[in-house]
Amino acid sequence: MGWKLPPLNALRAFEAAARHESFSLAADELNVTPGAISRQIRSLEIALGHNLFIRNNREVRLTAESRAFSVALADAFRNIDAAADAFIETKSGNPLRVACSMIVATRWLFPRLNRFHTRYPHRHVSLTTILPTETSPFSATTAEAVIRLGTDEWPKNIVSHFLFRSELVVICSPELLQRGPPLKTPDDLRHHTLLSSALRPQSWQRWAQSAGLTSLDVSSATEFESSALTYTAALAGHGIALGERAFITEDVRKGRLVVPFPLVHQNPESFFLIYKREMEGVPRLKEFCQWIKHEASDSIAEVATIEAIPRA
């Protein structure tokens, strides 16, 4: 295609002058003299065959048509700038640094990450784990983006994207139900070993309150140092645990875990992708953000298919 473009330097001078409505300020921005700006704009006016400014002594004003032209130019320059940034970033090969808890990494993100690499083969993700108890989102990591629990009350310099709710259900291995005491009602939990994570010590108490259980002794639960170990113990049949619905869909579908009761406890927290506002517009982060929000939407749909095992 043969582009019929006016002189690009003149377009750049006009866009800056139009934005500032001042030749002098445009000259300062582009590091040239006001006279150079004036000559560039005059050459553009000759090329277009129309005046772009109304000149009154030392004041210049845009016409209605030239204002619309300047807006279109600004959009075009932004697109060019973004394309250049994306090209440079792609060639640099810098990975996107993402941080999350071990349980989020192993039970939610890892099984999906291949789909990101398939969609964006030129991108790389460097993943590190952090404790979910960290109070400041970026205090213990050099990550550019963090997946974590929260109530969407972040500092003003943080951008957040909702992923999915924190919803807890009772989980156990089907083998445990076959060999252990009956587990037909929530009250039957008192005959089983409860498994809990030291990182989420209030989970059983919250669930019991939702279930209306006052006699359940959650203080005697077997405690593990992380949620990841708690899930592993439940899979191995060592007891009954609480699981995030978003983290158990595959195990339930393949019969490795069952959900004995339909009761779902909704925590006040949700899972978010967060990053510093200064990272907005960075191509590798924009791509990851779009992808993970799509994955989270699919995950919510999958969670809706989880049902408690049928009772006779």
Q: Give the pLDDT of residue 312.
A: 42
Q: What is the CATH number of the domain that holds 139?
A: 3.40.190.290
Mean residue pLDDT across the chain: 88
How much is the average pLDDT of 45-49? 90
Q: Give the DSSP H or E segment for 39.
A: helix 34-48
Local structure of 156: helix, strand or coil:
coil
133 neighbors 139 (Cβ within 8 angstroms): no
53 and 134 together in one domain: no
126 and 43 together in one domain: no
38 and 185 together in one domain: no
Domain count, the chain: 2
Q: Give the DSSP H or E segment for 257.
A: none
In a domain, 305, yes or no: yes
In a domain, 269, yes or no: yes
Taking the alpha carbons of 59, 64, 70, 75 in that order, is the dihedral positive or negative?
A: positive
40, 57, 92 — which closes off a domain?
92
246 and 297 together in one domain: yes
Domain span holding position 238: 95-312
Q: What is the CATH number of the domain that holds 68?
A: 1.10.10.10
92, 120, 141 — which closes off a domain?
92
164 neighbors 301 (Cβ within 8 angstroms): no
In a domain, 247, yes or no: yes
228 and 296 together in one domain: yes
113 and 85 together in one domain: no
57 and 136 together in one domain: no
Local structure of 204: helix, strand or coil:
helix
* 37-46 pLDDT, tens digit each: 999 999 999 9
Q: What angle do CA 88, 92, 97 make, to 5 degrees?
A: 110
Confidence of residue 88 (pLDDT cuts 50, 70, 90): low
Share of the chain above pLDDT 70, in %: 93
Q: How many CA atoms lie within 13 Å of 300's alpha carbon, on the beta-carbon side? A: 12
102 and 186 together in one domain: yes
Task: Fill in the DSSP letter of residue 135.
Answer: S
Is the entire prediction scored with pTM above 0.75? no
* 131-143 pLDDT, tens digit each: 876 666 676 678 8
48, 71, 92 — which closes off a domain?
92
Residue 311 pLDDT greater than 60, yes or no: no
Q: Give the pLDDT of residue 195.
A: 96
Q: Give the pLDDT of residue 177.
A: 87
Give the Cα separation of 39 and 30 in Å (integer). Answer: 14
* 243-289 pLDDT, tens digit each: 999 999 999 999 999 999 989 999 999 999 999 998 888 888 999 99
* 154-194 pLDDT, tens digit each: 888 899 999 999 999 999 999 998 887 888 889 999 999 99
Q: Give the DSSP H or E segment for 293.
A: helix 283-303
142 and 75 together in one domain: no
Residue 124 pLDDT greater than 70, yes or no: yes
156 and 249 together in one domain: yes
Residue 65 pLDDT greater than 50, yes or no: yes
